[in-house]
Amino acid sequence: MGCKGGTGMNQFVYCDVNLCIGCGMCERQCIMSHYDLGMTEVKLNDPLQRARCKTYRQPELKAAVHCKQCENASCMAACPVGAISKRDDMMIFIDESLCIGCRECVLACPFGAVQMAPVTDGRMVATKCDLCIDTKAGTPACVKGCPKKALTLMTDETIKARVLQKREDFA
């Protein structure tokens, strides 16, 4: 299920920092979607319940950081074992079973969107936003659950609409 690609571009979640309040609801929604949990079952400090996005809360800036699904993904180029690949729908995918935990992808990502997390066998593996591709969420859960509507799934259509709006605003 999950978010489907096929539009010819790399879809990604965009955070409008002017709307984000840093509440962390995106992280909770991500965990609920990936682990099929209810809100009261989410434990943000449980390393085995890992959100695939990260909320940064600084006095001057609050923002949710997600993988940008880059066309020329530096994380993919940095992975020495080929655990990171690009799917047909343009999504960058990390195969946790191949990940050796070297952290090269974490260092290579210019957005800080790749993070290390433990898995049930005790290893540390790279993880990042997967657009809820293998969940029943449809649209990424963080986008649906953001109380301030600060998150948008960017597609060809949403980008074109924003460009047109900006042109109209400056005309």
1 in a domain, yes or no? no
4 in a domain, yes or no? no
Q: Please write the tens of the pLDDT for every residue from 84-137.
A: 999 988 899 999 999 999 999 999 999 999 999 998 888 999 999 999 987 776
106 in a domain, yes or no? yes
144: domain CATH number? Answer: 3.30.70.20
Distances from the Cα of 2 to the Cα of 27, 34, 94, 133, angstroms: 17, 11, 16, 4
3 in a domain, yes or no? no
pLDDT higher than 60, residue 171: yes
Domain span at residue 111 reads 12-170
pTM: 0.85
Distances from the Cα of 34 to the Cα of 23, 56, 67, 108, angstroms: 19, 21, 16, 25
Residue 5's pLDDT band, with cuts at 50, 70 and 90, is very low
Q: Please write the tens of the pLDDT for every residue from 17-48.
A: 999 999 999 999 999 999 999 998 998 888 88
153 in a domain, yes or no? yes
- Tally of domains within the chain: 1
148 in a domain, yes or no? yes
2 in a domain, yes or no? no
65 in a domain, yes or no? yes
Q: Collapsing DSSP states into helix, strand and coil, what is residue 102?
A: coil
